[in-house]
Structure 1
Amino acid sequence: MCLDRAMFAFAGAMILVSVVLTAFVSPLFVWFTVFIGANLFQSAFTGICPAAMIMKKLGLKPGKAFQ
């Protein structure tokens, strides 16, 4: 799996987890969803994503997301 696909999968999983936590644990978990969205938005413009940096250090290679 390339870094791009891993980032899509990770972001999607985190959003789903935050929605489930908001629905079943506490409405305050909506702030987790907001944080994820804000991070996705800023990384689109700056190219800086902490999760991508960690995944790159773990050995994932950048590649094309859709081939």
Structure 2
Amino acid sequence: MTVDRAVLAFAGIVVLAGIALSLTVHPYWIGLSAFAGLNMVQAAFTGFCPAAKIFKAMGVAPGVAFK
């Protein structure tokens, strides 16, 4: 798995977790999904993603998008 795929998988998990929590715990948990979405848009324009930095530090193989 590369950093790119790890970031996409992590973002998907965060979005799904936010939706599940908003449906089962409290509606304000939808903010977690909104935060993940805003972070993905920001990363698309700037190329900077905090999760990518963390995955790189963990030794995940480099990808194409996040160098």
TM-score over 0.5 for the alignment?
A: yes
Paired residue total: 65
Structural RMSD (CA):
1.4
- Identity value in percent: 46
Structure 1 position 62, deviation (Å): 1.6
Distance 1:48 1:64, change over 3 A: closer
**Residue equivalent to 2:11:** 11
Q: TM-score with structure 1 length normalisation?
A: 0.89
Question: Which consecutive aligned stretches of 4+ in structure 1 deviate over 2 angstroms post-superposition?
Answer: none
Q: Which one-letter code corresponds to 1:28 in the other structure?
A: Y
**Residue equivalent to 1:38:** 38
Q: TM-score with structure 2 length normalisation?
A: 0.89
Q: Which runs of 5+ in 2 are unaligned?
A: none
Structure 1 position 8, deviation (Å): 1.1
55-64 or 40-49: which moved more? 55-64
Structure 1 position 36, deviation (Å): 0.5
Structure 1 position 63, deviation (Å): 2.6
